Amino acid sequence: MGKPEYVERAENFRVHLCKNDLSMAGAVTCVKGDRSLRPSDPGQEHKDFYVRVVDRNSDGIVVRGAKAHITGAAYYNEILVIPCRNMTEADRDYAVSFAIPPNTKGVIQVPHPMHYRQGKGEFPVELPFRGHTDCLIIFDDVFVPWDRVFMCGEWQYAMTLVYNFAYLHRHTAASYHIPPYEAMVGMAQAIAEYNGIEKVGHVREKITDMIIYVNTLKSLARASCMDYVEHEGIPIPNPVITNIAKYYYANNFHSCSKALVDICGGLLSTAPTYKDWTNPEIGGLLQKYLIGKAGTSSEERLRMLQLIRNTLGVENDVRTLHAEGSLAAQRMTIYAESVKNLKEYKTLAKKYAGIEKPKDKDFVLFNH
């Protein structure tokens, strides 16, 4: 941006985080209002759907607006705010980036309750019941000192900031989803065995699809690191492959959960509670009637179904699809990052079509 003070402030902030071992929420997604309109569009119901600068003086700036779904913001040490989209000159006031502690005056957080507690009727399973709360953060005329401001009005660079965040963030998404998806394949295999259907053709097909799913994701996540690019000397996971990895798992997750639900059968939804299971009058009967394959345990089967119930559900569906950006956001990035390749592909096609004169090596490839 041609402003060395921003670099100095960002570096000071980074050192502050490292030195004090602080955690930081990334506040990117604005509440946005009408999605088809720009932040400054007069058609918006009001001006504050995207975080913006409403005042400034020699000490700092005053910001107003709201960010949605910000993971962990209520209990992290710092909130880093960046724009969530490209900006035009008219959106200048919305091109703002800063960092503040969550208890700064004027910051109002409305956290979404977590549903990761063990219910009284649920079978106790080992998977830790932990998760984050995601917060609506309202910036109600919050003062930010200049030494915590990293962008203020440079609308031309808003998109660069968003992209640089997404390059890394989508890669972490593609990586951290691998272990739970591997566990999902394990759940499918285990419940198939409890139900006695592990050798049935359509069940094997479904489990094979899940194996293909998780291994494709692993391969893409790994390939994005191996085929990294450099930005100003900083290695960045390959943006095209990273976005394909995120897109691939989000776009196909629901087929996997459908397969898992199919293999489970209706007991996934209607299983007796743990309270019934431990009831001395009926517990024994449940043990007898809810066994699947001979030699397996009904308690193990019910525990596995409990784990699957904890794993699937609307919160997981939404997280998979929307966290780290919607499907359309990935497709947009994949196309934008492929413009250079598209030119090369076109040149190749023109050579093959005889429109441009081919080099020898292209001929070899073509004939081969």
Give residues in contact with ligand FAD (CB under 6 A).
Answer: 26-29, 32, 35-36, 69-71, 134, 318-319, 322-323, 325-326, 328
CB of 65 to ligand FAD, least distance (A): 13
CB of 324 to ligand FAD, least distance (A): 6
**Closer CB to ligand FAD, residue 72 or residue 153?**
72
Q: CB count, 10 Å around CB of 288? A: 9
Q: Which two tokens stand for residue 5?
A: 């003070």
**Closer CB to ligand FAD, residue 234 or residue 318?**
318
CB of 61 to ligand FAD, least distance (A): 20
Q: Are 64 and 141 in contact (CB under 8 A)?
A: yes
State whether the Cα torsion 197-199-201-205 is positive or negative.
positive
Question: 271: burial class by Cβ within 10 Å (0-12, 13-18, 19+)?
Answer: buried
**Closer CB to ligand FAD, residue 49 or residue 123?**
49
Q: Which of 11, 324, 10 lies closest to 162 in space, CA to CA?
A: 324
CB of 175 to ligand FAD, least distance (A): 16
**Closer CB to ligand FAD, residue 48 or residue 304?**
48
Looking at beta carbons, which residue is closest to ligand FAD?
A: 28
CB of 76 to ligand FAD, least distance (A): 10
CB of 331 to ligand FAD, least distance (A): 9
Q: Which two tokens stand for residue 261?
A: 């639900």
Cα three-residue angle 139-145-150, rounded to 5 degrees: 85
Q: What share of the chain is helix, strand, coil (3-state, %, to 5)?
A: 50, 15, 35
**Closer CB to ligand FAD, residue 27 or residue 63?**
27
Q: Are 17 and 53 in contact (CB under 8 A)?
A: no
Q: Which secondary structure element, helix H or strand E, spans residue 100, and what is its range?
A: strand 96-100
**Closer CB to ligand FAD, residue 166 or residue 286?**
166
